[in-house]
Chains A and B, each alone.
Chain A
């Protein structure tokens, strides 16, 4: 996969990745996904996204080559590759903040290295390819348990951990009302995971009806179209005895619709780091003293949010990139026990060669698309 500019990607032959660091591994990709956050770089919204970059931070594969310092993997191992690149040694990795590694991104300090996510996230090529270079192979990659479906495994690289951490950061107490903004794959997974923490009521808000219908069935929750309920904040207040939700989760990020001013200044004119509508609604819908959990991706500059309301309502905001390595053991248990069914959200399996169509389908929400998996040609033959 080769990025050529906003809304333009294609398949090209690129040199086979090489071992560039003693802890590198080269992985032959078996499955990769297009993530909702890939759309932000596909749309040209993330600074320092260079032409020629291969996207893809959700992938699983088989280890084909290892560097001299790799001790925990061997050639032939099938691995889940977390989307974050983490050294395991820095102060932040030691705190299990694997999404905030300080030894994987020279270009920016606010974000750790991420596969295929612009030079702002380290300039690494990603896994929407036949082969990928995986740094720190002793730390991130986790061997796929025997019997686990590859389609389940590939969703453990990002979607499931991010959805789970969104719920976890909500500090959900038994019986809490949890509102999730966004019915994309992450929002659907966050709603599903909210139950694991004991939520009493889970509500998903979006404006795409087929996704709301999917969320309702998959996540066993309530789902509402914000275009049909009037002011969503007022609607949610009314639905929660006029107090607000205990926990609100922003699973949308910088390309939210729903409010003209945010859309114009954030998405059209790019005067702020994306449209912060979901975050605004989350802050205004949560109860006093409630928690807003943010996993939606925003740009590095600034956003217009009602920070005064955060102060006046005493809201706690918790946010981070998912710490995939920390969460994987527990999430694998959930999948194996049948409590989570990640592959249930996959609606499209598309040959890697058709990556441009795959991006268009996901970006424009065509053909009732929820989640797209790309399958390289070498795996299909």
Chain B
């Protein structure tokens, strides 16, 4: 049969042929009905179901109508036709030519909305050329893509050779591409992507080589924000849902080399096993984008990281199985300058199924105004535990030593314990480092019971400072939320036989001779500022010289505020350089920002009129300093103290 039909119009078709099932290596058509010369059209082919090979959804009710039809022996040409696929919504221009003899042909589909697709079917190959195919229609063909809301336009060519040595070659370009998961936690916008892919099939196996260049756009893969500029090369082997990633290398800004290998399960959408290796990663570049969002998301913008990192991440059975980290010249610092560590170098190896170790050298660091020296950190690591070897952290001329520290990670966080010692640190160096007046003495500590609980560190032992001829001992030390923004320290402090001469001269408080004892119970520091305590300072028992200078008297009365008074005429005060005293005491119970003061005798020493004696005179002339204002704002009290200490001028007594 040979001939051309154009614009025929008949009440009944010339011919109607039905095919139950037409099978081609790349496509299966079912319910095919070809109608020739029906009313108002030349020829029509209706396909109830079209199932392309691969992961493409079944396409239903495809109607192809020909404007011109040529039938010549084995040649069928349907030209100036239209293609209607209900799921895509609109008609497209359509040309088809098919040689039924050798089963070759070509198809052209063109639509302003859907773009243009040219399909050339050879004896052993199909060539598909895409011109601006809109990806937002993809879910209508690939149902699995519907939850990703793809967008953008795709162009390029895909050549599939289905002969004995199967081969697929694709060169695809994506313009203004993007996707978004329903929750927006994985999304991309404005993506320009070029993909060159070659696949070679053998039996059920495919070997793939791909180059992907991401030249524009941005993406957010929670918690990482990514900008364009990456280039990826991939070599893989696939069989069914299983993809064996043999070699994946990624060129990424700030990383010398990124390699990935492993096994992907496309059915489950997960990496079953594999290893990601980063070499020469510049932490100044990768820190803000990758490290901090993953490791310390709340600290982004508050921490700076620099140095070089090598990293291997291993995955087995879909879970993290190994972590190998190499550090070189790594520095970590708080942006406000309050703390820094480094440079640091060394290695960390952690495995889920066997023992690992940590060996890191820290060249030094700073915590607030205290510099600490170089030390080596070594530990045995297990899946959920750390056993730290003794570590000695030099601090000024002494050191902080941690011994037998072992921690286990539980459901609520880390817990465990060990012991700590502070080897003697000289107070002149420490006071200077803390910006305090230079003080003689030594600080040391012995903490035999260091207990770590989630959000809490208990120091069961004592920290002792021998200073001003006496000692000061801190005990019942509890540190809460040590790594939080509102770390809190609780302690009790006991001081005995502190020489007032040295103390008052050091702090420019005038001159007082004598000894004092002090007890501070329930001390609570939040962000290192006192928030609560019950303190009493008083003359030590015993016999020793007790004199107080004119200036010290003035300062004590100034601390008491406007309500404080001297039980002596100011005129008389001016005649004497110093006075004898029998006893002195000051107490302060701090709560809610208010210091409730007491004097000699504590609460019991407060008189009916609310006054209290701070200094009880002895000898002639008798001098008493009496406070009347028991409740003083703590910040105001600190201001007064600072003013008193800062004022080096000789007091003016009128």
Report whether chain A binds chain B.
no
Chain B residues near A (Cβ < 8 Å): none
